[in-house]
Structure 1
Amino acid sequence: MQVRLCRFYSYAVVLFLWLAGANAYATLNIEIFGGGATQIPIAIVPFAAEEKLSQSITPVVAADLQRSGLFRLVDPAGLRPHEPVEVSYPDWVNRGAGALVIGSTTTLAGGQVAIRFQLLDVAKQEQLASYAETVPAEQLRAAAHRIADMIYEKLTGDVGVFSTRIAYVVKQGKKYSLQVADADGYNSQPVIEYTEPIISPSWSPDGTKLAYVSFENKKPVVYVQTLATRARKAVANFRGSNSAPAWSPDGSKLAVVLSLMGGSQIFLINADGGGLQRLSQSSGIDTEPSFSPDGRYIIFTSDRGGSPQIYRMPVAESASRSAERLTFEGSYNVSPRYSPDGKSFTFIHRGGGGFNVAIQDLATRQVHLLTDSRFDESPSFAPNGRIILYATEIKGRGILSAVSSDGRTRQQLSTQAGDMREPAWGPMRRPQN
């Protein structure tokens, strides 16, 4: 892979990178490498009567927690308590469990399932959390993800992201498909499919829409599509190239990259495509914008200094629009994305012959390389900032991978067929009323 063949310079690289794939979609397969320095030992007892359901609860909860890299699963070894009074705490101490999850399921009329669970502290012999809900049978996986989120938050103090969704693009044969799936790769659904490239998906802050770039009209055009209705609108279809959409935190605007006035520069538009306003002014290529969580700044890639580097500039018209360079290590740093807390950003850094995911602290400017693969691209933070999703290549085929923000845990997410690119992690899902 030649260095000059990068999306920063030309969207034609999409055609070079996405080699021909096979013909069938498949669920993501997940492999986990490494683990956190300290893992919480947790035992998850199969819920009572879940074997009668079309989807068991405990395997999903266990897979979620293990995938985070922060938990070590303890084998229940034949013990099957389903109520707190049935728990013999010394048995679990002997097995090395620090936390214990027990629960039950009850099939009700009308295809409904009642679910209960308790999270217990083995050492203190006390209940940490309990929950009950009734869901349709087809929503059992979603319920399991919510349980995993509650366990994760109670034991780590951080918000769980197992109920979130991811978007990515799959190329199979001559077809490009923008897919949305649960964070664990299940329930993948096509948003749109074409025989021309689809790139740069970007979630709206409320998770109801996706902005993306489609080449269906033989040129890059930015669309916004509502996921529930599949209704979509071309919001940036100006003369020349329209690319790299990024939502403002309040969802009212998009930053886009246009060549409307010559060169590639960053513009601001309303979410419906109106109110065009130019943000960046340079003689170079300015692209790949990302808003800070408070909406005051954008970071972006530019070669205005001679090589691709990452810059920051204010969004407000009243502020000085001069851009501040943020990256100085190496001659190639691209694809920045703000962390959810706004204290750091992830990006792709070239070093040692590879293109790798990195993270940089905004206050200290310290850079931490997180991967050692050959060609990584499109990093995207989970909404809790703990994991970064990105695309990489294994044996010439594009797959999705994830790495913890401290670099200690890595995952490979792949399909049996197809070339996967352009991942974007969606926001926290709002409760359904």
Structure 2
Amino acid sequence: MKLVSRFTSTIMAMGLLVSGLLKAESDVRISIDQGVSTAQPIIVVPFKANGAVPADVAQIISDDLRNSGKFSPIPRERLPSQPGSATEIVPDQWSVLGADNVVVGQVSASGGGYNVAYQLIDVLGTSGAAGNVIAQGSFNVPAAQIRLGAHTVSDQVFEKLTQIRGAFRTKIAYVVQRGVSSYELRVSDYDGFNAFTVVSSKEPLMSPEWSPEGSKLAYVTFENKKSQVVVHDLRSGGRKVVGSLKGHNGAPAFSPDGSRVAFASNQDGQLNIYVTSASGGSPKQLTSGAGNNTEPSWSPDGGSILFTSDRSGSPQVYQMSASGGGASLIGGSGSGKISADGKNLIMVSSDKIVKRDLTSGSTEVLSSTFLDESPSISPNGTMVIYSSTKGVSKVLQLVSADGRFKANLPGAGGQYKFPAWSPYLTKQ
């Protein structure tokens, strides 16, 4: 199969994100709460391995496709055989399982890393003759990036079958609190693997948000005995304070072009929305004299800002121009975020995560957990991660944007809060 060098370059570039940081670990895992009975069946055959391989590539691909809510992988025990290529597929033996498509592949040791090769096969003949290969790829990955190689296959298969760009090579940031004086800002793969600590503190850390190109995080720190908004470069480790007004400073959000950061401050006694340069400077106040205003987020075109305000007596989501001025009521009770494609609004309403279709106005409740908050959307709009309460703990939850697939990411001790989904990390 042809080597697709742009994907090899992508994998190498994404690996730079963790260079110079602490050794990667894993502290959360996806655990299914509710599967999808009506999703499209698909078959992912265990990949043939040439030598020892440190991860089950096919299982990672299968899990990715399942987590999107759009596919229902058929269990391995039902497979008639375990072929490694399309030439070994007899379509009639596979079409009876009810799946249109089969993924097969091989993993081989190559130059200190691994070569991952796959084929996506149409066994029903919906794209032509049964047994047609409708997508394939072959690329090299460093030994430590074998999971990223599997996510690359998932992205390509997902996009081929849905015409939606895959988002399995993205990451999440979140805060872990252990006890009363131990806080860590962590970053991991979207599924909880390969986690590493960005910063540790004895004082609270809150509300991480990604820059549009994924190289920086803005978050709130109390390390200097007051709340400040900082921008942290993940590659160099450098930090810049961009919000340090009198009183509390919190809830940062990058503009879509990465040049500005919106945040909330109560320097005048009430919380208001401010905007400042992402490199620091004098903040501009956008709201005033209308209750407490917080949790800013930007529209995809950067022309408006959503925020939470109690100006009408209870917290609700409002929208205003990015330069300030009059605000219009959206509804819900807070944490409003518009998907990158501009089609849906995700927000909190009655302690649940809800999705509003911005074209039809219809609303759907996505979550079924307790005291849900801090929703964040995958860059392709197909998945939502949020924080909820389980017993006395805060945990991370994953739900497909159609509400059909639900899972939790149980942590290894501590409170898991403020999840933030990364953008696409490199051009692909």
Give the TM-score normalised by structure 2: 0.88
In structure 2, the residue matched to 1:239 is 246
The answer to whether the 8 Å contact 1:118/1:130 transfers is yes
Query: Is 1:146 aligned to residue 147 of structure 2?
Result: no
The answer to whether the 8 Å contact 2:51/2:108 transfers is no
In structure 2, the residue matched to 1:366 is 362
Select between 404-413 and 241-250 the one with higher mean Cα deviation. 404-413
- Change in CA separation of 1:49 and 1:36 when aligned onto 2, cut-off 3 Å: closer
SS of residue paired to 2:413: coil
Deviation, 1:364, is 4.3
Query: Is 1:184 aligned to residue 191 of structure 2?
Result: yes
In structure 2, the residue matched to 1:97 is 99
In structure 1, the residue matched to 2:414 is 418
Separation of aligned partners in 2, 1:401 and 1:272: 33
Deviation, 1:284, is 0.9
Query: Is 1:122 aligned to residue 118 of structure 2?
Result: no
SS of residue paired to 1:143: helix
In structure 1, the residue matched to 2:176 is 170
Correspondent of 1:385 among 381, 384, 395: 381
Separation of aligned partners in 2, 1:410 and 1:363: 25
The answer to whether the 8 Å contact 2:100/2:124 transfers is yes
In structure 2, the residue matched to 1:17 is none
In structure 2, the residue matched to 1:302 is 309
Query: Is 1:282 aligned to residue 283 of structure 2?
Result: no
The letter for the 2-side match of 1:207 is: G
The letter for the 1-side match of 2:386 is: Y
Aligned residues: 396
Deviation, 1:36, is 4.1
Separation of aligned partners in 2, 1:390 and 1:115: 32
The answer to whether the 8 Å contact 1:158/1:384 transfers is yes
Could you say what the CA RMSD is over the residues aligned between the two structures, in angstroms?
Answer: 1.8
SS of residue paired to 2:264: strand
Separation of aligned partners in 1, 2:364 and 2:110: 51
SS of residue paired to 1:223: strand
The answer to whether the 8 Å contact 1:26/1:415 transfers is no
Separation of aligned partners in 1, 2:54 and 2:313: 58
Deviation, 1:366, is 3.3
In structure 2, the residue matched to 1:80 is 82
SS of residue paired to 2:63: helix
SS of residue paired to 2:48: coil
Sequence identity percentage: 38
The superposition leaves residues 78-125 of structure 1 with CA deviations (integer Å, 9 ceiling, x where unpaired) of: 51222222211111123333211111122123x122221100011012
The superposition leaves residues 6-48 of structure 1 with CA deviations (integer Å, 9 ceiling, x where unpaired) of: xxxxxxxxxxxxxxxxxxx853122223344632222222222
Structure 2 gaps, min length 5: 1-24
Separation of aligned partners in 1, 2:294 and 2:95: 55
Separation of aligned partners in 2, 1:45 and 1:138: 23
Separation of aligned partners in 1, 2:121 and 2:54: 27
Deviation, 1:251, is 0.2
The answer to whether the 8 Å contact 2:36/2:72 transfers is no
Deviation, 1:241, is 1.4
The answer to whether the 8 Å contact 1:50/1:56 transfers is no
SS of residue paired to 1:294: coil
Correspondent of 2:138 among 108, 132, 135: 132
The letter for the 2-side match of 1:144 is: A
In structure 2, the residue matched to 1:71 is 71
Deviation, 1:417, is 1.4
Separation of aligned partners in 2, 1:261 and 1:369: 36
Give the TM-score normalised by structure 1: 0.87
The answer to whether the 8 Å contact 1:255/1:266 transfers is yes
- Change in CA separation of 1:218 and 1:386 when aligned onto 2, cut-off 3 Å: same
Deviation, 1:343, is 3.0
Separation of aligned partners in 1, 2:102 and 2:253: 42
